[in-house]
Amino acid sequence: MVIDIKDQMFQDTIGQEGLVIIEFWAPWCSYCKLLAPILEELDHQYGDTVKIAKINVETESVVSTELNVQSLPALFFYKNGSVVGTVTGFVPKNTLEEAINQLI
């Protein structure tokens, strides 16, 4: 299940072993709404190999400000606490699968 995290949980989340994907989103973002079921599918598909979390930029703005997130949705891919890739905007599932497969 894709989990909602708060700013204060960010460092612990990205520091987990394996690939971690963080989605920055907002309730008013239509592309975020389109991406949500795709992320849920990917979460089920990859199981424990990939962890997916999301941060609502409306209520949790510290990390998104630090990372200079200016467009939504914004996906940041982390390995061992470091950014190894980003995707901005809506992309189809197969594009995300390709990105994930290259990073795991």
Task: Give the DSSP per-residue string, 44-71.
Answer: HHHGGGEEEEEEETTT--HHHHHTT--S
The CATH number of the domain where 90 resides is what? 3.40.30.10
Range of the domain at 63: 3-103
pLDDT tens digits, one per residue of 88-100: 999 999 999 999 9
Query: What would the two tokens of residue 63 be?
Result: 């990390």
Q: How confident is the model at residue 81 (pLDDT cuts 50, 70, 90)?
A: very high
* Residue reference for tokens 């470091």: 82
pLDDT of residue 7: 96
55 class by beta-carbon count within 10 Å (0-12 exposed, 13-18 middle, 19+ buried): buried
- As for how many domains the chain has, the answer is 1
How far apart CA 29 and CA 84 sit, in angstroms, is: 25
Residues annotated as catalytic are 29, 32
Task: Tell me the average pLDDT across 9-18.
Answer: 94
The reported pTM is 0.95
Question: What's the pLDDT band for 85 if we cut at 50, 70, 90?
Answer: very high
Residue 20 and residue 53 in contact, taking contact as beta carbons nearer than 8 Å = yes
Residues in the chain: 104
Region 19-44 average pLDDT: 97
Over the chain, what is the mean pLDDT? 96
Dist. CA 67–CA 25, nearest whole Å = 13
